[in-house]
Amino acid sequence: MHLTDRDKNVYNTFLATSRSINNKPFSLRKKFDNLDDKTYIIIKKLSSFFNKYNNIKITDFFTAPYVYYGKDEYIDLQYFTTPKAIRCYSLYIKQREIADPDNDKIIMYCKEAASFIYKFCIQENLTLNEYKTHIEGTIPIVLLHLKEHKINFYTIHALNCEKTINRVDKDILYFIIENINNTIITTRNNFQKSIKLKHTMKKAFTIIEEKLLQNKKTTIK
C-alpha cells in the first residue's frame, strides 16, 4: 500500500485537528507501513475528495463537526467520507461568513484573504483596483474567489467592490452563490459596525496597493 505525502498530510491534519481542538497534545504519524486496510481506503478516498475540491481547506473540513456537535464528541475518520460531513462543513462556512468581524479568527481569515489577493495580483500583474474589476471569462474574479472561499464577504466590503458583483445577472449570481444578496447585506452591516477589522483591512490593502503599483512599474520597465 502506497500513500503519497499528500495522503499522509490528510491523515495527520485529521489527527492534529481532533486533538488540538480539545487542547490535547498530539504527535504526527511518521510511519504508515502497518496501516490497516480500512484506514488506508478512507485516507485515499478523502485525499481524492480534497484533490477534486481543492478550494476546501482540510483543517476547516475536519474542524466543522466539532463546532456543531461539541468539542467533547469523538468523530472518527470514516465520518468525513459521508454526505453528513459535507453538509456540516457547508453550514460551518456559512456561519463563519457572518460571524463577528472583530473576532480574532475572522480577522485572521481576512488577513489570509488579503495575502491570497496580493499573491494573485503579483502573478497576474494586476493592481488592487484592477483586481476589483478583473473579469475571468464573463465572471468577476472576486466572485469566483468568493465562491472558492479564497476570500470572504468581509474582504469584498473592505475592497469596496460590491458594484462589480451587482453587475452580474441575478440568475447567474444566485447560481454561483446561494442566497448571496442576504449574506452581502448582513456582512455589510457587520463590517460597517466593526472597529478592528475595518482598521486592519484598510491598513493591509493600503500596503498591498503600494506594493502592487511598484511591481507594475518595475514590470513595465
Over range 126-142, report the average pLDDT.
94
List 139's β-bridge partners, or say none: 136
Question: Cα–Cα distance between 50 and 65 in angstroms, integer?
Answer: 17
Regarding beta strands 139-140 and 135-136, do their DSSP bridges make them parallel or antiparallel, or are they unpaired?
A: antiparallel
pTM for this entry: 0.84
Over range 65-94, report the average pLDDT.
89
Over range 58-80, report the average pLDDT.
88
Residues 6+ apart with CB under 8 A from 188: 153, 157, 162
| Nearest-5° Cα angle at 42, 36 to 45 | 140
**57-71, 152-166, 198-212: range with lowest mean pLDDT:** 57-71
pLDDT of residue 1: 67
Return the C-alpha torsion angle 155, 158, 164, 167, nearest 10: 90
Residues 6+ apart with CB under 8 A from 219: 125
Question: Cα–Cα distance between 199 and 114 in angstroms, integer?
Answer: 13
Q: Kindly report the length of the chain.
A: 221
Among the residues of 31-167, which ranges form H helices?
37-52, 58-69, 83-97, 104-124, 128-133, 141-147, 153-159, 162-166
Residues 6+ apart with CB under 8 A from 27: none
**127-136, 163-172, 212-221: range with lowest mean pLDDT:** 212-221
CA 63 to centroid of chain Cα atoms: 13
220, pLDDT greater than 70? no
Q: CB–CB of 47/7 below 8 Å? A: yes
Question: Cα–Cα distance between 64 and 86 in angstroms, integer?
Answer: 9
Question: Cα–Cα distance between 44 and 78 in angstroms, integer?
Answer: 11
Q: Render pLDDT for 146-168 as a digit per residue (tens, 0 to 9).
A: 999 999 999 999 999 998 998 89
- Domain extent listing, the chain: 5-97, 104-220
Q: Render pLDDT for 6-56 as a digit per residue (tens, 0 to 9).
A: 999 999 999 999 888 877 888 888 889 888 999 999 999 999 999 999 889
pLDDT of residue 218: 78
C-alpha cell at 133: 474589476
